[in-house]
Structure formats: C-alpha cells, structure tokens
Amino acid sequence: MHLLDIRNLKTHFYTLEGVVKAVDDVSFTVDEGEAVGLAGESGSGKSTVALSVMRLIKPPGKVVSGQILYKGEDLLGKRIAQFDDVRWKEISMIFQGAMNALNPVYTVGNQIVEAITHHEGTSSTEAWKTAERLLGLVGIDSSRAHSFPHEFSGGMRQRAMIAMALALNPSLVIADEPTTALDVIVERQILDLIADLKRKLGLSILLITHDLSVISELCSKAVIFYAGQIAELSPVAAMLKEPLHPYTRGLLDAFLRIDGEKEKLRPIAGNPPSLLNPPSGCRFHPRCPYAKGICSTEQPKLTDVGGRLVACHLFTGAS
Amino acid sequence: MREFVLKRSVFMLITFLVVLCLNFILPRVMPGDPITHLMGDVRLPPAVRQSLIARFGMNKPVWEQFLAYLANTFRGDFGVSFSQYPKSVATILLERLPWTLFLLTTSVTLSTLLGIYLGVIGAWRHGSRIDVGIQATGLALWSMPIFWLGMLLLYGLGYVLGLFPMGGATSAVMSYPNTLEFVKDVLWHSTVPILTLTLGSYASNTLIMRGAMLEVLSEDYVLTAEAKGLGQNNVMWRHAGRNAMLPMVTVIALNLAGVVGGAVFTETVFSYPGVGLLIFNAIQAHDYPLLQGAFFVVAVTTIAANFFADLLYARLDPRIKY
Amino acid sequence: MSKANVTRRQRVRSTLQNASAFLKTFRRSKMGVLGLAIIVFFIALALLAGPLAPYPPKLMGAGQPFEVPSAEHWLGTDDVGEDLYSQLLYGTRVSLMVGFVAAFMSTIIGTMVGLISGYFGGKLDEFFMRVIDVLIIIPGIPLMLLLAAYLGPSIWNIIFILVFFGWTTIGRVVRSQTLALRELPFIESARASGAGDMRIMFTDLMPNLVGIIVPQAILSIVGAILGEAGLSFLGLGDPTNQSWGLMLYYAESYGAFLRSAWWWIIPPGLCITLVGIGFTFVGYALNDIFNPRLRRRGA
C-alpha cells in the first residue's frame, strides 16, 4: 500500500474572473521512505496539491473531486476536527520562505513545544527538552530556543521550520519550495540537512519545487507538472538521462550542466499558460517544438512508456 | 526596547510642553484682555483679584509671567473659579476628575474588548451575514453623533422605560447605609453613560481590528498554525488575534483623544458630574480659569494614557528595536 | 487641423472615456450608489428649503408649543411653537455647508503639507510629522471648546476650528503616498529632464495622488458635519443660523425630555446620521474603485 495515494485530484478556484483549474485530475503516489519531487513553473498549481493534501485550501478555492488516500484512508472524507489529529502527527509541512511562516510574537521554541503539547499532552518541561533536541538535530544551538523568529537568519529560520515539522515524528513531510528564498550556500546546507534527516529518520518526502536540480539531488521519483496537470511521471535518473515530455526536455535544456559541453541556454518559448483559460487540447502545444495537428484538439492521456508515464501525443500512438 | 521607550518619553514630554505653553499663550492671544479672562471677572472680590494678579505676575513682563505660571502650575494653582467662587480651580478639578476617569476607563476597556471580539469574528467569517451585520451596525453607530445616541438611550431607557435614572452620578441622598449601596447606586447611574460612550467608540476599534485581522489571516504563519492541527479557536485567537492586536494598541491610543471628546458630550447629556460637564458649564458661565484648568488636566491625562499605551505596545511586540 | 488641436481632441476624448468607465464602475457599487442617492437627496432639501418649508423656521407661535406631529406641522413644534420641519429643512443648509467648506479647506491644507513634507523629506518632514503627532494626541474637543469659548459663536470660527484639527488625517495619507511615489522611475526621469520641484509636485505627483485624496476628502466631510453638530449642541453654534446640532441643543436645554417630545429629539440626529452614512458609503466606494485591494490567490 502506498503511504500517500492521490487519485484524480481536482482543486479549482472560483474567482470573479472565472474558474481557475489549479489542479486538474492529478494522480500520483508516495511510498514509504520515498522522496517524490513535484516540479513545475510558478503558478502551475503544484503548491495547490500540497495545500490540498493538508486541506488548507481556502475559499474561493475548493477541492472539487478526487481522493487523497493516506495509509489507505481518504483524508478528504474526514471531518476537519478529526483531521486536526492527523495534521502534523502523520503529515507535516515545511513552507516556502520561512520568513513569514513562523509567528513573530512567539519564540521559536514555543512554537515547536506548542505542537507537541497540543497533540501529545506531554508536560511542558518534556516538550521543551524535545524541542531543544530537535533544534540540535537541525544544527541550531539549543540556547537559541528562546529567541524570536526575527532574530534568526533566513537559513536558521528554515532549519527551525524543519525542526518543527519533525516534532511529532511524522511519516510524511511535504516541503514546499524549501530552498527557493535562500542563497546558494545556505541552500546547499539545507538540502544536505534534508537528505541527512531523511536517511536517519526514514522520512517520506513530497518535495515541491521549480528547480529540477533540487529534485535530482533529493528525490527518486519526479512528477512534472504543467498547467495543473501531470506532463510526466518518472524515476529521476531515467528522466535526467532521457526526458520524454517536450516540456521536461525544455526544463532540462534551460539549466546549465556543469559537466556537459558548453551549450547555449535554451529557455522554453512562450509564456506560462493561464489556468483560467488553458489552451485547447494539450496545454503545452503553443510552446511545443514538436506540436502536431492533434495536439491542439485532443488532450493526451498519460501513457505508460517503459514504466514511466507521459502525457504527450508523441507517445500515445496517435498520428 | 529601551531606545523606543526613551524616544516616546521624549515625544510625550514635548507634547506636554506644548500643552503647557498653549495653556499660557491662549488667554494672552485671544481677543480680550488676559487679566479679565483669567482673574478680572466681577464675580471675584477686588481683593482676590489683586492677589491673583500678583501671584501670576500679570503686571510683569511676559517671561516673568511665564515663570510664575510654571511655578503655579506645578504647585497645582490654577487660579480661582469665577462661577464657583470661592472654590479654587484645582479643588473643583479634583472633585470632578475621578468621575470622568471612572467613565473613561470602563468605557475604553469595554469598547476595546468589544471591538477586538467583533473584529476577530468579522474577519474570520468575512463576507458572511454576521460580518456584514457587524459592519453595518458599526457604521450606523459611528455615523451617529454621540450626544444624540446618548439622548436616545436616555430617552428610551430612562424616560420611557424608567429603568435607569435621568442623570447624575448618584442619587440625591445625604448618606448611604453601607458601601455596597453606594457602589450599586453609582453603577446604576453610570450604566447608560458608559453604554453610550462604549457604543459610540467601539465601531472604529472593530473596523481596525477586522482590517488587521484580515491582513494577518493572509500571512503564512496562520497557515502554519492551521497545518499544525491546533484547531480553529487556537489559530484564530492565539496566532492570528495576538498579531492583529498589535496595531490595535496603537489605534486605541490614537482614539483616546476622541473618546475624551465623547466623554464631554456624554457627561453633558447625562448631567454626569465629571470634567466634561464641567467644561460645558464653564463655557456657559464664561469661567475661563476653570476652562483652562480643565483643558490642561484633560490634556495631561490623555498624554499619560497615550504613553502607557506606547509602553504596552513595546511590551507586546518582540520586534520593537527602533 | 493643427497638431495641437488633434492632441487636445484626443485628450478630451480620453478624459471622457475615463469618466464614463469610472461612472460604469461606480454604478456597480451598490454602496456607492446608495450613498450618492442619500447625498443628492439632502442637497436637494438644502437647495429647496425655501420653497419646501411651510413656515419661517424662527417664527415663534407658528403653532402651539410642543405640538405632536400633525398635518399642519409634519414634525411638530418646539417649546415656543416654531415649526420643526421648517427648521430641519433650513438646518440642512448649514450642516452641509459647514461640512463641505471645512472638509475642502482641510483637504487643501492637508494635501499641501503632505505633498511638501513627503517630497522634500528631511527635517521639514520630521517637523510636520511631529506637529501632526502632537495635534493627534491633544484632545481635540476640549481644545475646540476652549477656542470656541474665546472666539465666540460664529460659523466661521467653527469652520476654522474644524479645519485646525481636520487636516492631519489627509496630511498623513498624502505624505505616505508621496513618499512611495517619489521613488518611482517616472519621477526620477522628470528630475533628470530638468523639471523643477514645483512642476514635479503638481504635474507629476498630484494626478497620482487624486486617487487617495478624493475618498479621504469625502470621508472627512463626515467628521466635519459631526464636529459642527457637536459644537452647536454644546451651545457654541451660531444662534442666528439654523443647524441640526443647534436644534438638539435647544431640545436638550428647553425640556424636550420632560415633555417627551420625541419628534424634536429624533429627526435632527437621524438626519446627521443619514448624511454621515451617505458620505461614508460614497467615500468607501470611491476608495475601492481607486485603490482596489489585492486579492489573495492560491495557485
């Protein structure tokens, strides 16, 4: 059984301008001990997937249909009060830009302790001990537990967030752009930290990012997201060696390879699509160098290509 | 934090000095003769007038007058009241101030609490009928002149329903059997004035709290708190509310001046024997020394209250570095 | 056709287009339309007070004292038999006039101070900000009363006092907006092309400030009307004039309560409240149009 099994998830936003289909029929799984990377451009809908799993979608957004199975149980079927028990204990989240993800009026230690005492009813002293241990785990001196978030640097805040996310020994950690707001050096440290913790604690991770290099480091499986839908789902190694979907190819081409030949950077032509009014047929077709006639009329279904999934007419066997 | 306190202390001091100087300058620049304004009224016997003129140095050069004024002010000597001669201004103020302070403290507290509560609820359920209802009532009450609100409440609750007295702070009895009776009587008389002042001032608190809350609710740390499974109430009050309250403290401080004004109107409508009614009566009686003294006392009280609000803010916000 | 004419034509056309687009958006705001309707209603009352009033407002003995509302006296009479409906109508004029004039003058002063303070910055800015801070802390009403006691009851004294305290809000708002705009590239380029400070302030900055000035100005009318009503209620109003606040002063002082004359107590206050709500609605509606708040999306 998969740890996390997302089936045909649809999350839409009913705005004044129309319906934004941020997540439009998305399915993938995360197994125990696995790190899955969800990649896509800004505004592609990938954060919405994470928020849907944590059921943090606010109006005008709504999870329209689909199932989110965690250890076999559909999370969407639970009442919020019940779900509050699952939150953080089983699945926790590291938010993008911990600058604002930590409450400025409480100390960092306090915020970790809060989660522990609320869910497990442990005494305050015990909880503080755990909090200090967790901070130590992420490389923050325990004496800093009584500092406020604004007294931490960006990298330290991110570490603190990680410590907080691990407070209740969750099985699944969702990391939403954990390193986007950090500089390269700090990014390196955080990535190493996450890899280390994953190994030590046997965590399962759903990593959301626009940076394929981050995925290639930490994850074993990659889900390439485009315009609210999955373009390609594949083991990372195979994806890097031989990207199937033209979008994936475009993404890889847009990044420098430190070991490859000196090539020109080739960004993907065109602009990110509107989720309000997505292009007809295959949503990538306006920017695709391989687009055929059928691409603008019919949406390609996810096809199995040697154990990998691609949504592209190059592989659907259509002419 | 210490720097912040220092900065604010200096500012408050400057404001106090401005008030001090204003109090000195006004009777001397306004149309009419300062001596007549401050001590030359016919209701005072000539001997008293002479002694006042001497005490305040009115026949000396201006800067000597100013020094005399400063010395007298710090001694608590504001002159003698025209309309309530032989009482000194200071004596009268001392009698009346406690009533006003009582009125103000209770209504500011109540309107703050009410404003916070309704603001949080309104923001949490923004767009709902509760929210619209809260905003509409708030708007209506804010647009009402507070003295009219008082008149309506006095008329309805006092005259028509007879539930509350028609005015005053106490019944016209000579003495009370015990303290409890006294307290009950005072509370009975103050209920409608406090109600008026609270209803008249809570609306802006609600609006600000709601606005601050809406902004805070869109912050990531609120999402984090929810993700931690802490439950709706916890997130709403402990995480969002706590942050949204910070701008509230500032706003309450800013509104203090307005509330004091409201107290003047309320006391007038209810014949409540505080400094507000005193000002009203003093105007009618052309009792300038009393007016000046009352203004001074009211201004200083407001400045002090603002300063305490600043200290409170510094205490609540760990980010204060300045 | 000369080039100048064409440009002017284009400018007129685009202004008209902007105006009609604005009107369309405004019409969509239920709050704004309702508020405008209220304001127009009261302005009409003010203008038509003469023909509409059945009696001269200060005619003692137009009816019996304390008459209950009837066909002859729609709002009854006061303690000396003056017709209250007529008083109410004429009172509209004073209340609206004071509101408009005081708000207008406050806006001018506040805008000037805010613009200069925000644009030049430095010591000048600090000075003005301190002044505003001090004015805000000092309790306005007691000081207003003190000044009014010295200056005597007159419409212009009231307006002066209201303006003396009323300019601070707009001053602050304009200043912060000026500060924000000052850093923008188009100001930089104007300066680089040699435009003088005056020109920059009035030709470049001002049009961008109108969006916040106008709603604030409308909202400040409410404060002015309430202020005038308050001062009049306390007996500092001009007795030769008619105003709603003054009506309530007389009601309070001449026994409206004792005689249960609800028809004297309720209408003037109700009018003040309605006018206040009207301007507040319009002010909020304009604020929403000119300064739409960003809506948060999740994607």
- Chain C interface disruption, residue of B151, B254, B272, most C CBs within 10 A: B151
Residue A270 lies in a domain: yes
Q: What ipTM does this complex have?
A: 0.84
CB contact under 8 A, A103 and B224: yes
CB contact under 8 A, C299 and A15: no
Residue B253 lies in a domain: yes
Structure confidence at residue C295 (pLDDT): 37
CATH topology of domain C28-294: MetI-like fold (1.10.3720)
Pure H helices in chain C: 3-28, 30-47, 49-52, 84-120, 122-137, 140-151, 155-182, 185-192, 197-199, 206-231, 244-253, 262-290
Residue C200: enclosing H or E segment and its boundaries? none
Asked whether residue B142 falls in the same domain as residue B268, the answer is yes
Per-residue 3-state assignment (H helix, E strand, C coil) for chain A: CCCEEEEEEEEEEEECCEEEEEEEEEEEEECCCCEEEEECCCCCCHHHHHHHHCCCCCCCEEEEEEEEEECCEEHHHCCHHHHHHHECCCEEEECCCHHHHCCCCCCHHHHHHHHHHHHHCCCHHHHHHHHHHHHHHCCCCHHHHHCCHHHCCHHHHHHHHHHHHCCCCCCEEEEECCCCCCCHHHHHHHHHHHHHHHHHHCCEEEEEECCHHHHHHHCCEEEEEECCEEEEEEEHHHHHHCCCCHHHHHHHHCCCCCCCCCCCCCCCCCCCCCCCCCCCCCCCHHHCCCCCHHHHCCCCCCEEECCEEECCCCCCCCC
- Interface check for B315 against chain A (CB to CB < 8 A): the answer is no
In B, which residues are within 8 Å of C296 by CB distance?
218
Asked if C62 and C54 touch (Cβ cutoff 8 Å), the reply is: no
Asked if A103 and B216 touch (Cβ cutoff 8 Å), the reply is: no
Chains with at least 3 CB pairs less than 8 angstroms from chain C: A, B
A292 phi, psi to nearest 5 deg: -115, 180
Mean pLDDT in chain C?
84
In C, which residues are within 8 Å of A61 by CB distance?
298
Residue B117 lies in a domain: yes
In B, which residues are within 8 Å of C233 by CB distance?
145, 147, 265, 268
Structure confidence at residue B107 (pLDDT): 93
For residue C50, is pLDDT > 60? Answer: yes
pLDDT, average across residues C76-102: 87
Q: Which residues of chain A register pLDDT less than 70?
A: 97-98, 255-266, 317-319
In B, which residues are within 8 Å of A101 by CB distance?
220-221, 223-224
Cα–Cα dist B274/B194, whole Å: 13
In B, which residues are within 8 Å of C280 by CB distance?
139, 142-143
Q: Which domain holds residue B13?
A: 2-74
B220-260 pLDDT per residue, tens: 899 899 999 888 888 988 898 888 888 888 888 888 888 99
Residue B257 lies in a domain: yes
Q: How confident is the model at residue C1 (pLDDT cuts 50, 70, 90)?
A: very low
* Residue contacts between A and C (CB atoms, under 8 Å): 21
Structure confidence at residue A97 (pLDDT): 67
Q: How confident is the model at residue C101 (pLDDT cuts 50, 70, 90)?
A: very high
Residue A113 lies in a domain: no
Sequence-distant (≥ 6) Cβ neighbours of residue C260 within 8 angstroms: B155, B159, B160
CB contact under 8 A, A84 and B231: yes
Structure confidence at residue B147 (pLDDT): 93
Q: How far is B322 from chain A (nearest CA, A)?
A: 14
Q: Which residues of chain B register pLDDT less than 50?
A: 322
CA A51, A56, A62, A65 dihedral sign is positive
Asked whether residue B197 falls in the same domain as residue B263, the answer is yes
A204-209, strands of its sheet edge to edge: A91-94, A172-176, A204-209, A35-39, A221-226, A229-235, A308-310, A303-305
In C, which residues are within 8 Å of B83 by CB distance?
none
**Domain regions of chain C by residue span:** 28-294
User: Across the interface, which of B220, B229, B318 has its CB nearest the CB of A105?
Assistant: B318
* Residue A310: Cβ within 10 Å count: 26
A143-162 pLDDT per residue, tens: 888 988 888 888 888 889 99
Question: What's the CATH number where A250 sits?
Answer: 3.40.50.300
Residue A145 lies in a domain: no
Query: Integer distance in angstroms from the first to the last C-alpha of chain B?
Result: 7
User: Across the interface, which of B159, B160, B299 has its CB nearest the CB of C139?
Assistant: B299
- Interface check for A309 against chain B (CB to CB < 8 A): the answer is no
User: Across the interface, which of C130, C142, C269 has its CB nearest the CB of B261?
Assistant: C142
Structure confidence at residue C237 (pLDDT): 79
| DSSP letter for each residue of B25-94 | HHHHHSSS-HHHHHT--TTS-HHHHHHHHHHTTTTS-HHHHHHHHHHHHHHT---B-STTTTSBHHHHHH
Nearest CA among C85, C90, C96, C88 for reference residue C39: C96
CB contact under 8 A, A103 and B317: no
CB contact under 8 A, B220 and A148: no
Tokens 């002090």 correspond to B304
For residue C297, is pLDDT > 50? Answer: no
In A, which residues are within 8 Å of B242 by CB distance?
103, 105
CB contact under 8 A, B295 and C146: yes
Sequence-distant (≥ 6) Cβ neighbours of residue A8 within 8 angstroms: A25, A26, A27, A65, A66, A67
Asked whether residue B175 falls in the same domain as residue B269, the answer is yes
Chains with at least 3 CB pairs less than 8 angstroms from chain B: A, C
**Cis before C51 (ω within 30):** no
3-state secondary structure of C77: strand
Q: Residues of chain C whose C-beta is under 8 A from some C-beta in B?
A: 130, 133-134, 136-143, 145-152, 222, 226, 229-230, 233-236, 245, 248, 251-252, 257, 260, 262, 265-266, 268-269, 272-274, 276-277, 280, 296
For residue C298, is pLDDT > 60? Answer: no
Question: Looking at chain A, which residue has its C-alpha nearest residue B317?
Answer: A105
Structural domain count of chain B:
2
Question: What's the CATH number where B215 sits?
Answer: 1.10.3720.10
Asked whether residue B147 falls in the same domain as residue B289, the answer is yes
The amino acid occupying position A28 is F
- Interface check for A16 against chain B (CB to CB < 8 A): the answer is no
Structural domain count of chain A:
1
Sequence-distant (≥ 6) Cβ neighbours of residue B62 within 8 angstroms: B28
For residue C12, is pLDDT > 80? Answer: no
- Interface check for B95 against chain A (CB to CB < 8 A): the answer is no
Nearest CA among A162, A305, A166 for reference residue A242: A305
Q: Which domain holds residue A26?
A: 4-90+170-310
Q: What is the CA radius of gyration of chain B?
A: 24
